[in-house]
Structure 1
C-alpha cells in the first residue's frame, strides 16, 4: 500500500465487475506508479469484490457504501478516504491510456496556477464511430462557461469536461464536493462551482488520454433526470455563467434531457429562460429546434455519420 501517493484514483461502481476490472487495470498500468485506487462499491456487490481481489495489487482499496447513494455520493466518499495530493476520477465503464496521470501531474505542478483543475481530451467511442472532445482549447480571455456550453456546430460544443478526465487537488474536492442529489450535468455543476473560487483555474492536457465508451445500449444513472430538478439546477447556476452561456445551457444541455418529455410547457419554460435571462445565438435556436423536433436516437445516428465522414474530428 502506498503511504503517501501523488494521486488517489476514485472509481464508483455497482454490479459491473467486468467493466470496473478493466477500468482498474488501466489505472494500475499508468506510467505514474505512486498512486492508490479507491473503488467505492455503491451497495452490496459480492461479484465486484471477488473480481477486484483477484487483481492482487496492494495499491487497490475497495470500500462498500452501506446503502446506494448514486455516483456523486460514491465519489465524495472516495475523496474523504483519499491520501493523495490529488484526486482523479474514473467512471467504471471508461479507461485511461498509460500516460494520463503523469501528464496531468506534470501540468499541475508547473507552478502557473495556485489551485489547478486539470483535464485531458478524450476519445468518444460510440457503437458507430470515434471522435475526440473537446474540439479545441479555450481562446485567451474566453469565459470557461462559454467554452463549455456554446456550440459552433449542430452537436457537441467545442469545450467539454467529462468526469473521467478530471484531476484536482484533494483539498479542493473536500471543500467543493459533488452535489449528491444531482443526476445529470454533475461534471458541469462541479466545475462551475469550483472554478468560481479564488485561485482556481482550468488546465488542459492537449492530448486524448481517456476512452469514454458512449454505449447507448447500456443503462446509465444519468439517463434519468427529473425535469423539475434540471430546471432548478439551471436557475441555480445562473450567477456562475455569462448570459451567452446561460442561453446555451438552457437550449442545448438541459433541453436534450427535457425534450424526452414532449411537454409544450417545458419547451416554453426553457425558451423563456433563454430569452429572459440569457443571450441566445442563432446556433442555439437551431439546436433547440432540432432537439425538440428530431428523436434522440436519430440525432445520434446523424451525428456519428457526419463525424465519421470528417474523420472523427
Structure 2
C-alpha cells in the first residue's frame, strides 16, 4: 500500500479476540475496498494478536500499545496512525453493513462544509428485540445538542449518535481528540466539541448501516461508570449545551447511573441541578421518576418490547445536503429555576 487509502478504519480492542475479528471482517468486506484497517490493541494481548494474524490481508494493520489507556486514547492513537483523508470508527463489538463506507462517502462529497462528521442510523440488536436508532432525523433549525439528548418519549433514541457510525476527516479527529479518561458519552462529548468549530457540521445518513450489539453476556464499561464523574463532565459541557439539553442529560443519562444508589439525597441533588441550570420538560420529569422507581432490567425489557414492535418504513433518501447540521448559536446558560424539558 504505497498510495494513501481512501478511508482508514480505526478499531480499539483489548482481550476480545472473537469480537474484534468479527468487526474486522465487516470492515474488510466493505464495497469500498481502498481502505486500511488499523486495530489498536490497548495493552498486552497475545490472543488478539494471534487471532488477527490469521487474516492475511495487507490492508490490516495492528498497533500494539504497551499499556492500557482506554478506548478514547486508542482511538486517538489510531487517528494519528491513519493515512487516509477520512477515518471511520468501529467498536470491536459492532459490525458494519457492506455499503456503510460507500454511503457515507457519497454524503461527505455532497456536504457543504469543509469538515463534515458523517454518521448514520444503526440497528440496535438486543436478545429481546431489534430496532433502528435514531428513530428520527433532525428537524430544521433544531440545535444538534438537543437533537442528540432531548427525548420526545420515555425511551431514548429519538436522536442519537454512536461511535461505530462516525466517519470524519482525519484532520478533524487529530484537531479534536477524544477525551481520555471519559468512560461514558464519549461520542457525544467528541461530537459536541467538534461541532463547536465553524467549519464542522453533522451529516446523518438515513439508512441503518451499523449493527450495534447490546446486552450480550460480556462486561461493559458503560454499565459501571461512576455517576459523579459523569455529572462533573456534563457540568464542564454546559457552554456547549442549551438548557433543554443540559436538563435532559442530567435527568436521563446521569440519573440512570445514579438511581441504583437509591439515595434520596442524590435524587434531590440531581433534580435540583437540572432545574437550576436547565429547563426540564414534562417528558424529562416522567423519565426521571421512572428511572428512579422502575428497576433497570424491567425498563430495558419494556423498552425493547415496545420499540421492537415498531417497523418503521424505510426512510426516503433525501438530498444529503438536507441533513447537514451546522451547530446553531447556543444560548448562554445562567443559573435560574426555569422549568422545561
2:49 equivalent to 1:49:
yes
Q: TM-score, normalised by structure 1?
A: 0.97
Where 1:109 maps in the other structure, the secondary structure is helix
Conserved in 2, the CA contact under 8 Å of 1:2 and 1:35? no
CA deviation vs aligned residue, 1:171-198 (integer Å, no higher than 9, x gap): 1111110111100110111111111111
Aligned partners of 2:178 and 2:23: how far apart in 1? 21
2:226 equivalent to 1:226:
yes
Q: TM-score, normalised by structure 2?
A: 0.89
**C-alpha RMSD of matched pairs (Å):** 1.3
Aligned partners of 2:162 and 2:2: how far apart in 1? 27
Map of 1:83 onto structure 2: 83
CA shift, 1:227, in A, is 2.2
Aligned partners of 1:134 and 1:2: how far apart in 2? 39
Conserved in 2, the CA contact under 8 Å of 1:9 and 1:88? yes
Conserved in 2, the CA contact under 8 Å of 1:135 and 1:158? yes
CA shift, 1:311, in A, is 3.6
CA shift, 1:26, in A, is 0.4
2:236 equivalent to 1:247:
no
Aligned partners of 1:2 and 1:97: how far apart in 2? 27
Map of 1:123 onto structure 2: 123
Conserved in 2, the CA contact under 8 Å of 1:8 and 1:83? yes
Map of 1:152 onto structure 2: 152
Aligned partners of 1:204 and 1:121: how far apart in 2? 7
Map of 1:171 onto structure 2: 171
Greater CA drift, 111-120 or 93-102: 111-120
2:118 equivalent to 1:112:
no
Where 2:102 maps in the other structure, the secondary structure is helix
Where 1:8 maps in the other structure, the secondary structure is strand
Conserved in 2, the CA contact under 8 Å of 1:150 and 1:157? no
Conserved in 2, the CA contact under 8 Å of 1:2 and 1:59? no
Where 2:110 maps in the other structure, the secondary structure is coil
Listed as ranges, the gaps of 5+ residues in structure 2 are 314-341
Conserved in 2, the CA contact under 8 Å of 1:119 and 1:203? yes
Map of 1:67 onto structure 2: 67
Aligned partners of 2:123 and 2:2: how far apart in 1? 30
Listed as ranges, the gaps of 5+ residues in structure 1 are none
Where 1:149 maps in the other structure, the secondary structure is coil
Map of 1:211 onto structure 2: 211
Q: In the comparison of the two structures, how many residue pairs are matched?
A: 313
Map of 2:339 onto structure 1: none
Conserved in 2, the CA contact under 8 Å of 1:104 and 1:119? yes
Where 1:15 maps in the other structure, the secondary structure is coil
Distance 1:66 1:111, change over 3 A: same
Conserved in 1, the CA contact under 8 Å of 2:13 and 2:40? yes
Conserved in 1, the CA contact under 8 Å of 2:111 and 2:203? no
Aligned partners of 2:217 and 2:111: how far apart in 1? 43
Aligned partners of 2:111 and 2:96: how far apart in 1? 25
Where 2:148 maps in the other structure, the secondary structure is helix
CA shift, 1:256, in A, is 1.3
CA shift, 1:228, in A, is 2.0
Aligned partners of 2:261 and 2:175: how far apart in 1? 36
Map of 1:283 onto structure 2: 283
Conserved in 1, the CA contact under 8 Å of 2:131 and 2:310? no
Conserved in 1, the CA contact under 8 Å of 2:94 and 2:213? yes
